[in-house]
Amino acid sequence: MILKQLVDFLDTNDVKYVNITHSTAFTAQDVAESAHISGKEMAKTVIVWMDGAMAMVVLPAFSMVDFNKLKGAIGAKSIELASESEFKDRFPSCEIGAMPPFGNLFAMKVVVDAMLAEDKEFAFNAGTHHELIRMSYADYERLVKPTMASFAFQKK
């Protein structure tokens, strides 16, 4: 079931969105294919430790995080990938790996790669491996107020 906390938040803030159900998929690129969405418009959420605090890094499905570039872009001293065992309890109502990129709902900082802002809309997991939300990027930015940086590179 779609994450109720997310839907309530979007509805309370008068955001127009579409809920898309698709066949179960686990990687962001597979989700994009399953839902017939461009890998550039499908966001994935990566959980990291950033200067000792857990944070969300959000980037297009077809890309990966350049950790050195990310550190430099936001002025962090250290950034490392968090393990699933370290973050699973932070998202009790989400399937592991399907967390929506709304750090504000989970008391986490959010850093978004600038590529996601290039399109009017984007999509992201809505707490499960078979449901997405598609909404305007401008509404997302207004609600989440993420830090914007350029840190992603395309997978080969």
CATH superfamily of 4-131+146-154: YbaK/aminoacyl-tRNA synthetase-associated domain (3.90.960.10)
Greatest CA span in the chain, whole angstroms? 40
Rounded-to-integer distance, Cα 117 and Cα 105, Å? 21
Question: Does the reported pTM lie above 0.85?
Answer: yes
Task: Domain ranges for the chain, please list them.
Answer: 4-131+146-154
Rounded-to-integer distance, Cα 36 and Cα 42, Å? 10
Summarised one tens digit per residue, pLDDT across range 78-107 is 999 999 999 999 998 899 889 999 999 999
Name the band, by pLDDT with cuts 50, 70 and 90, for residue 47: very high
